[in-house]
Chain A
Amino acid sequence: MATETLIWLLPLPPLLAFFLIVLFTNRNKALSHWIGVGAAALSWLGSMIVFVRALGVEHLGEHPFASAINWLPLGDTWLKIGVRIDPLSAVVLFFVGWTVFMIFLYSVGYHNYGQPEGDHDRPGLPPHGATATDEHGHEHAVPSVEPMYSRFFAFIGLFAFGMYTLVVSDNLLTLFVGWEIMGLCSYLLIGFWYGKKSARDAAIKAFMTTRIGDVFMLLGIAFLYTATGSLSYDVVFSERVLHALATTPAFFGLTAAGMIGLLLFIGAVGKSAQWPLHVWLPDAMEGPTPVSAMIHAATMVSAGVYMTIRIFPLFSAGWDGHGLTATMSIIAFIGAFTALFAATIAVAQNDIKRVLAYSTISQLGYMIAAIGIGAYVAAAFHLVTHAFFKALLFLGSGSVIHGMEHGVLHTGDHDVDPQDMFNMGGLYKKMPVTFWTFLIGGFALSGFPLVTAGFWSKDEIFADAFGHGHMAVFITLALAAFLTAFYTMRQITLSFLGKPRTGVAEHAQETPWTMTVPLMVLAIFAVTFGWVGIPEHFPGLGGLLPNWFHEFVGGTLAVRPEAVAFSMAPLLTSLGVALGGLFFGWLVYRKVQAGAVDPLKKVLGPVHTLLENKYYFDEAYDFLFVKPAYWLAETFTYKWIDRGLIDNILHSFGRAATWLGSALRNYFDLPFINRFVGDGSAAVVRKAGSELRYVETGRIQQYMIAAMSTLIVVGALLYYFFLA
């Protein structure tokens, strides 16, 4: 099959799966998951074929796989849509294919396929567990299968369609289409257990917050189209167009290129949960864990970063390689700030998934900061490695929760929160596969030197920031890296090491193969993927393997970026913060006893409370935006303007007309006409009078007269102003 055709087909299997499951196989769980996983496998296979073929093309950047058709006629031109695989989208396709496929497979085990249906389970709530009788006649509490099992696979199928569409797009419009489909699926999947109020609220919060970003993105797209007449990458990122955009002034002192870049970037701020639109992501953890892994770690939130990398030529147009453009400074600031800010919150969270959520926000901040300072390849590199190790960590946490839930069922102790890390401990014995893979993921996240992928990608960002003299960004990111290693080790120590702190943790159990195999596969990538991007001049290791990633992805840009010169300072920093953070994390938390307070709380006191409450951002937003918006809508616009002012003006016209009518009747009609004019006209007058009286019967009819008088006034004014 021609590669272009294959690329067109990539997104389709999951979409087809969505329809098949919704329309036909909804009632059959096995068939539904086979269709779902099968579709993911097909897309995965296609992606790998495309990826391999892409590797075989020399100068893929100049000659990408591309094909386009007309879609939306706009003015004199058609808005074309099409597919395109260049080096950047090829590597994204690689990790999307793997993570999506693994997460689909994992979902089978996660939703307890093969277990009995629970007696009290109902759609919209997580399964409560069931009782099963074994061959000896003993009754056991066992997990029960998810009641909306098929629906889950339908939704994640639709989601995968959105993600693949986004990746293979050759233009911002279909990218936006995929983007919105994912937003919708994110809403549906966060609110998957819609019986829980917290899940419903989280779903709406996620949708609305990202929607704010989307609106700006849409405006950016409108601006871009207005300015260039196209949305295709090869047109809008062509040198001619970029030059024109970079020399056109827009508003706020930005160039058109900078302005469009900024508007589009705000879309990414929402989607990738960057400060100040980060508030939705932690709450999104209400969704099932595969959803958190796929949507809120590996793919959808990465899409924001992917788009920012994609539009790099736009907001860096006119950049001379030294001082940053205005838009780049903003992006770098938001990224670096978010990286540190989210890391501080992660330190004080106790829910195993929430730690990861803040960690995701923080890591996405790294990438955004990297792209902001022009470290194009480093940002893309970290995007890929992060997708692997963060998906791994989320799936690992899901596995832990699953194991803990098993313990809950076994002990019958339903008060123990299976997600609270202080209830865990010692799980390394009970869940060895989960432990080792989690450890790998955690070390990759912390940037454990040399062996993990996270080290190489993070190191490249450090090197770039240092090498180009962006010291503020460098220091901020280094601090964040220290905290990252610290909270990661805190998480590992609290969950897996030491002794079980509750009976539940004592009875935790390793999860089935459908869950552990994806963990192992992702763990392999979390280690090896770093090796494709080892800098050439790295002491000892440099040059053993070619720095393939830099060469390959760098080729996406018209001017291939120079690899930054090697320097010891960032490397030592990187080593120091990673190892230091890991060590302190272990040191502080290694001996936490059951029921103990977080040792950090004793040291930090009120600061810890501030962190625990996420700097009170939710409360502040509620006070600053949500409440005023409702006040504006309810009290000001509806009560005062619409029902008050506008309706009252109408009603008072009505009243005035009634008054005029009765005045005419009582002071003119009755006293004068009736008295002085003979009986001959009396009948006519009475008729007129009764008609006038008619307006007094109800206030509705008064509108007629009211409006007539308005008409006369308006007519007179018009006459006065225009004709006279």
Chain B
Amino acid sequence: MTFPILSVIVFTPFVAGMLILLMPGERKTEIRMTALAAAAFALLLSIWVYFSYDVAAAGYQFQEQYSWLPALGIGYHVGVDGLSTPLVLLTGVVMFTGVLISWNIDDRPREFFAFLFILATGVFGVFVALDLFQLFFFYEIAVFPMYLLISIWGWVKTREYAAMKLTLYLFIGSVVALVGGLAMYWAAGAQSFDMLVLEQAGFSEAFQRTWFLPVFIGFAVLGGIFPFHNWSPDGHVAAPTAVSMFHAGVLMKLGAFAALRVGIMLLPEGAKHWAWLIMLLALVNVVYGAFIAMVQTDFKYVIGFSSVSHMGLVMMGFATLTKQGLTGSGVQMFSHGVMTALFFAAVGMVYNQAHTREIPKLGGFAKVMPFTAIGFIIGGLVSMGMPGFSGFVAEFPIFMGVWQVKPWIAILAAISIIITASYIMLVVRRVFFGDMPEEFVGHTHDVTVLDKVALTLLSVLMIGIGIFPALMVPMVQSGVENVLRLLGGA
């Protein structure tokens, strides 16, 4: 038997979380070291998976299959393809940097890291799941700790409201999707939840058209699709830094990814039928999110709404159902994940020093924390879609795909590029440059070495992919080809 690398990746955080729970709460250093070791281990393994994935062979690789509840046709089946491999890597990266950034959390670090790691297991689990039931199972595991993480460690003012809003939205979304999943199970009649089986089930056209929307939208709620996006900015803002990073960086991809995997791939005929609607909703996301981000005065809300806008691009790429569009979305999921993790990390660093996130009250932070400023600017360039950064590699194909399908949507969506540039510029100018308000002078200091490591790692990824798109694009494309096969064959 080969080494079950995916299972090891999935359960490493969980095991580490349990270990951490067993440790005495006051031994904070040991807890942190354990967390870091586990995160590093998971990251290394996901890097290993990323680089040993055979792009030429494509398809699902590193598969493992065990029966779980055979009576119901539920199995444990994991594997990665060209679309999920980058996301596994993304999760590893965000988890690792998240631990680095949360190093100084002093309030019950034991529970914090344990919950964070349970969350990570859930996320890894969804990305590698090839069994529909298992996917739901991990999905719920990923969503639940979020509630605790936000309501306990979050921003005092809104954490209860935001945690509840977020949890309910996501649970309800997943319930709707679950109903769709069950419908598929019964309609296929194969006594199996295995998605590779369901892909071949040949659902009737009417069935697909009926169930596509509940399944896609149900998952896409977690991707922040309009008009079900409202949990996300509130949730991001209330969450502590590492959780925001996880949340916007990885969790939203979970929604988009599941919407693709279950919605589009299992119900391709439905996808074709409803693509126009998804495209339209995504367009609203893109423009609307950007507009709102532009007028926020809270630093973190700016980033929160920018995520709504950028995730709209992901779903817009999906809705093109073209090779370029889907490939762009695949890369965008990774690129946005890294970028937004960096953004939230930077916001957290500024907040830790200034204890306010009101943009008009900030200023001049580039001088005290140059690393953060440079990191943020790099992230900003990614989000503006500057060539040479990963954002361009992602957005350019998306726009190209959209142009093929509906040029006027591409034109409208392009408005967001201008708006994005405006709010990024504004934040950079007001927060990092200009004069530092009196009360901060002398009371602020540079970020820690660990923070710098995290910022550097995230920045390097974005620049690396921007300059050498061949590092990621062919892999994503191999996954997209499979999707296109399903779309064409149905």
Contact = CB atoms under 8 A, between A and B. Distances in A.
Contacts of A641: 288
A187 B386 CA distance: 14
B397 A218 contact: no
B164 interface: yes
Nearest to B386: A180
Interface stretch (A431-439, A524-532, A704-712): A704-712
B73 interface: no
B47 interface: no
Most buried by A among B160, B387, B397, B415: B387
A226 B400 contact: yes
A637 B387 contact: no
A204 B423 CA distance: 10
B210 A73 contact: no
A35 to B, nearest CB: 20
A33 interface: no
A703 B168 contact: yes
B292 interface: yes
Contacts of A646: 227, 230
A236 B434 CA distance: 45
B230 A650 contact: yes
A177 B389 CA distance: 10
Contacts of A176: 387
Nearest to A78: B470
Nearest to B411: A219
B387 A223 contact: no
B295 A633 contact: yes
Nearest to A634: B295
A73 B388 contact: no
A572 interface: no
B425 A222 contact: no
Interface in B351-389: 381, 385-388
Interface in A224-263: 225-226, 251
Interface stretch (B13-21, B57-65, B169-177): B169-177
Interface in A54-87: 70-76
B289 to A, nearest CB: 9
B386 to A, nearest CB: 5
A647 interface: yes
A704 to B, nearest CB: 5
Contacts of A74: 324, 327, 397, 400
A215 B400 contact: no
Contact of A211 (B161, B399, B418): B418
Most buried by A among B296, B327, B411, B418: B418
A181 interface: yes
B165 A225 contact: no
Contact of A707 (B172, B397, B407): B172
A222 B396 contact: yes
A152 B238 CA distance: 40
Nearest to B475: A73
A562 B288 CA distance: 52
Contacts of A647: 230
Nearest to A710: B172
B387 A180 contact: yes
Contact of A194 (B175, B397, B434): B434
Given A177-B388, A711-B175, A211 B417 contact: yes
B461 interface: no
Nearest to A715: B179
A710 B165 CA distance: 15
Closest 9 CB pairs of A and B: A177-B387, A700-B164, A633-B291, A634-B295, A707-B172, A722-B210, A703-B168, A222-B403, A633-B295
23 contacts: A72-B396, A72-B473, A73-B477, A75-B327, A184-B381, A184-B386, A187-B425, A195-B435, A204-B422, A207-B421, A207-B425, A211-B418, A218-B399, A222-B399, A222-B400, A226-B403, A629-B294, A629-B419, A630-B294, A642-B230, A700-B160, A707-B168, A708-B172
Interface of B: 160-161, 164-165, 168-169, 172, 175-176, 179, 206, 209-210, 214, 227, 230, 288, 291-292, 294-296, 323-324, 327, 381, 385-388, 393, 396-397, 399-400, 403-404, 407, 410-411, 414-415, 417-419, 421-422, 425-426, 429, 433-435, 469-470, 473-474, 477
Given A222-B399, A703-B165, 18 more contacts: A72-B393, A74-B324, A74-B327, A177-B388, A181-B387, A184-B381, A184-B386, A204-B425, A211-B417, A215-B417, A215-B418, A219-B403, A222-B396, A226-B403, A633-B295, A646-B230, A711-B175, A722-B206
